[in-house]
């Protein structure tokens, strides 16, 4: 929990992303690589599992990330879907809420009734949404699926300070070691904010 300028306590957030070795995360509104089943299963599990069965998790997605979802996956099932957009005034069809920044979404989710019903907050992209979260005081963890290959991309994960966010030994819920699917090798890494 962190305090914002008004003295209220803000919730912590985690970023979750899969990145190519050139930091690519998207190309023409789609993932640049073939489907990686273990990565998709991990994303779904980590963003839906809760310890308190009376709660659910929130996911924050930029407008373009939201639009890139398969319409059958809007909203992402079992999660409170918050779209981040500077232009939308109403949530797009299927989304639960719209906010103009990650900060305003975190402030909303830090107040009633959300602080009683939302267990964790996950940021799912795109670039500027990740950047705002990573540079904030309330982001404390980054889950990265690091793909050991470059892919043609037009959207990239922001670079972040590896002294601020340090690689930690992966918690139990994170798959260990190198994984290979569709002739692509990758591994799951967890970075936590130090200090």
DSSP string, 143-193: EEEEESS----SEEPPP--TTTEEEEPPPTTSPPS-EEETTEEEEEEEEEE
Ranges 42-46, 167-171, 183-187: which has the least confidence: 167-171
- Percentage of the chain lying above the pLDDT 90 cut: 89
Asked whether the predicted pLDDT for residue 25 surpasses 90, the reply is: yes
- More confident of the two residues 9 and 69: 69
Average pLDDT over residues 76-86: 97
The Cβ-side half-sphere exposure at 134, using a 13 Å CA radius, reads 25
**Per the structure block, which two tokens stand in for 11?**
């919730």
Average pLDDT over residues 133-155: 97
pLDDT value, residue 45:
95
Distance CA 50, CA 80 (A): 13
Give pTM, 2 decimals. 0.94
Q: Angle between the 102-109 and 127-134 helix axes, to the nearest 10 degrees? A: 60
pLDDT value, residue 191:
96
Distance CA 94, CA 172 (A): 33
Asked whether the predicted pLDDT for residue 7 surpasses 80, the reply is: no
């Amino acid at each position: 929990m962190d305090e914002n300028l008004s003295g209220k306590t803000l919730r912590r957030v985690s970023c979750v992303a899969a990145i190519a070795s050139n930091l690519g995360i998207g190309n023409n509104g789609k993932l640049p690589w073939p489907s990686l089943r273990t990565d998709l299963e991990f994303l779904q599990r980590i963003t839906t599992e809760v310890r308190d069965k009376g709660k659910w998790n929130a996911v924050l997605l930029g407008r373009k990330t939201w639009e890139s979802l398969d319409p059958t996956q809007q909203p992402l099932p079992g999660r409170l879907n918050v779209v981040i957009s500077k232009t939308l005034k109403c949530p797009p069809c299927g989304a639960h809420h719209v906010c103009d920044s990650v900060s305003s979404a975190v402030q909303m989710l830090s107040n009633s009734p959300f602080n009683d019903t939302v267990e964790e907050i996950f940021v799912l992209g795109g670039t500027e949404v990740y950047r705002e979260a990573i540079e904030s005081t309330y982001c404390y963890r980054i889950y990265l699926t690091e793909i050991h290959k470059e892919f043609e991309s037009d959207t990239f994960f922001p670079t972040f300070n590896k002294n601020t966010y340090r690689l930690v030994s992966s918690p139990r819920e994170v798959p260990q070691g190198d994984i290979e699917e569709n002739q692509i090798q990758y591994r799951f890494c967890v970075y936590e904010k130090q200090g």
